[in-house]
Structure 1
Amino acid sequence: VAVTRGGFRNLLCGMRETFPSPANERVLFTTSATFDIAGVEVFLPLITGGRIIGAHQEQIHNPPALVELIDRHAVTLVQATPSALRPLLDALGDRPRALEIFAAGEALPAELAARMLRAGTRVLNGYGPTETTVYASVAEITDATGTVPIGRPTAGTELYVVDDADRPVPVGVPGELLIGGAGVARGYLGRDDLTAERFTRNPFAAGRVYRTGDLVRWLPGGDLEFLGRLDH
Structure 2
Amino acid sequence: MGIPMDDNIHAPTVPSGPASGGEKERIEAELSALSSVLSSHGVNMNTSLTTFDGFPRDDIDIAQIRTTRARIIHLRTDHKEVMKRLEGGLHEHFANLQRAQGATATDTTAMGNAQAASTGQPARDNLAETGMLGRPFARVNSVVPDSPAAQAGLQAGDTIRSFGGVHWMNHERLSRVAQVVQQSEGRPLTVKVVRKEDSGPDTTELDLQLTPRQGWGGRGLLGCHLVPL
TM-score bracket, normalised by the shorter chain, equals: under 0.3
Tell me the TM-score normalised to structure 1 length: 0.26
Tell me the TM-score normalised to structure 2 length: 0.27
Q: Which has the higher strand share?
A: 1
Query: Greater RCO between the two (CA within 8 Å, min separation 6)?
Result: 2
